[in-house]
Amino acid sequence: MENEGRRKFLGACVAGVATCAAAAAAYPVYRYLSPIKGEQGAQKVVFAVAEVPDGEAKFFEYAGSSAVLVNSKAGLVALSAVCTHLGCIVQWEKDKQDFICPCHGGHYAADGTVTVGPPPKPLPKLPVVVAEGKITVG
C-alpha cells in the first residue's frame, strides 16, 4: 500500500512537471505564431482632397484591413471595405454609385447601408476629417 501511494505521488509529480514543460514550450510557440503588434498597418491615413474626385472611390489599407473613401452626393465617407457577409472586399460601381460584393451579390449604398442581398449589417464607418485640403482617416 505504501508503495502504491508513493507510486501515485511520483506519477502525479511527473505528470505535473510534464504539464509545466509542455506549457513552457507551448507559450513561446503560441506567441511566435500570434499576429505581431505594430504590424497591423497604419492607424491614420492622409490623402489630398484631389485624390478622391466626385463620384469616385479610393481603396486603401487601414489598420491591417481594407478601407474605402467614397466621394458621392451624400458627401465624403470612409468605410471598411470588408463585406459584412463573409469578408470579401466590396467593389465600387461608379455608374450606379453603390458598392457590390462580387462573392454573393450583396449591395451597399454609398454611405454603407445594405440595399440588397445577404449582408447582415452596413459597412462600418471610419472616422474621417477634411481640413486644409487634406483628408485624414482615423
Partner 1 sequence: MTLFKRLYDWIDLRIGASEIVKKELTGYLLPRNINEWYSLGSVLLVIFALQVATGMLLMIYYIPDADKAFKSVTFIMNEVPFGWLIRLCHAVGSNLMIAVLLLHMLSTLIMNSYKSPRELNWVTGFILLTLAQGISLTGYLAPWSQLSFWATTVATNSASAIPVVGPYLVEFLRGGKLVGPATLGRFFAVHVAVLPVVIAAFIGFHLFLLKRTGVSTPPFGSIETDKRWKPESYSYQHHPGGIPFFPNYALQDATSITIYFAIFFAVVYFAPNLIFTPDAFVPANAFKTPPHIKPEWYFLANYQTLKIFPNELIGLTIQAVAMTLLALLPFLDRSPERHPLKRPLFLAGTIAGILVWLGLTIWGHYS
Region of 33-41, 48-56, 62-70, 107-115 interacting with partner 1 (CB under 8 A) = 33-41
Element (H, E) at 125: strand 125-126
Least separation in angstroms between residue 30's CB and partner 1 is 9
d(CA 17, CA 36): 30
Nearer to partner 1, 3 or 34 (CB): 34
List of long-range contacts for 85-94, beta carbons under 8 Å, 24+ apart: 85/117, 85/118, 85/119, 85/120, 89/59, 90/123, 92/56, 92/57, 92/59, 92/68, 94/55, 94/56, 94/57
Region of 29-37, 43-51, 90-98, 101-109 interacting with partner 1 (CB under 8 A) = 29-37
| Identified binder of partner 1 from the candidate list 1, 4, 5, 28, rule CB under 8 A | 28
Nearer to partner 1, 1 or 33 (CB): 33
Cβ atoms of residues 90 and 123 within 8 Å: yes
| Identified binder of partner 1 from the candidate list 3, 31, 73, 131, rule CB under 8 A | 31
- Work out whether 4 is an interface residue with partner 1 (CB under 8 A): no
Give the single-character DSSP code of 70.
Answer: E
The sign of the torsion formed by the CA atoms of 47, 129, 73, 97 equals positive
Region of 28-36, 65-73, 103-111, 123-131 interacting with partner 1 (CB under 8 A) = 28-36
- Work out whether 33 is an interface residue with partner 1 (CB under 8 A): yes
| Identified binder of partner 1 from the candidate list 1, 5, 36, 133, rule CB under 8 A | 36
